[in-house]
Chains A and B, each alone.
Chain A
Amino acid sequence: AQRVTQPEKLLSVFKGAPVELKCNYSYSGSPELFWYVQYSRQRLQLLLRHISRESIKGFTADLNKGETSFHLKKPFAQEEDSAMYYCALTEGAQKLVFGQGTRLTINP
């Protein structure tokens, strides 16, 4: 079965510091990977997907097939980045498999 692992349940950094949320996956084929985010009192929403190769809110994520990773990065954290982040992978193009989530807190 496909699996997505986010090793950090909690991550706390100071405002202005770099942020990296880790995501590792196991998948035998060519994966489609996503990052979803849930801000306080808001719905879960798509942050970015690897095929679009775009930067959203200053975040980027690079697919590393050799290391089977899709880490989310931002060079300078902002307080509004505090949220719950989920890494997800498509299985058979029909459904998403989510990681356990990482709660990111940005300290002022």
Chain B
Amino acid sequence: DGGITQSPKYLFRKEGQNVTLSCEQNLNHDAMYWYRQDPGQGLRLIYYSQIVNDFQKGDIAEGYSVSREKKESFPLTVTSAQKNPTAFYLCASSPGLAGEYEQYFGPGTRLTVT
């Protein structure tokens, strides 16, 4: 089954712990994105990557880190510095630039930090 996979579906962590969310795609897409979805706030961009070994901060990058060592993988680490980490996280990919191509979304990971 092709597409974007995110794991796990639900994730629980204690406050003060770092946690890494997985995002994998087998669509051979160059660009990948991480969004945070909160009720009433829509989707907000955390980080994006247009090519392997390169990534840029989005609008709410503080407290998050990413890596793009492989084309198919774009893991997101939620660090203890993120003040409100409990949220629904969506990963997406596209063949190229956001303005030219549709973004394909994963099923999401719901992170709960207590």
Contact = CB atoms under 8 A, between A and B. Distances in A.
B105 A93 contact: no
B11 interface: no
Given A43-B107, A46-B102, A94 B50 contact: yes
B42 A96 contact: no
B105 A98 contact: no
Interface string B24-63: 0000000001010000111111001010000010110000
A40 B40 CA distance: 17
A96 B50 contact: no
B45 A96 contact: yes
Interface residues of B, number: 26
B106 interface: yes
Contacts, number: 54
A95 B43 CA distance: 12
B100 interface: yes
A98 B107 CA distance: 18
Contacts of A49: 102
B98 interface: yes
A44 interface: yes
B54 to A, nearest CB: 12
A93 B100 contact: yes
B90 A100 contact: no
Interface string B81-114: 0000000001010000111101111111000000
26 contacts: A32-B99, A36-B103, A43-B105, A44-B90, A44-B92, A45-B105, A46-B102, A46-B103, A49-B102, A86-B42, A86-B43, A92-B99, A93-B99, A93-B100, A94-B99, A95-B48, A95-B58, A96-B43, A96-B45, A96-B98, A98-B35, A98-B44, A100-B40, A100-B41, A101-B40, A101-B42
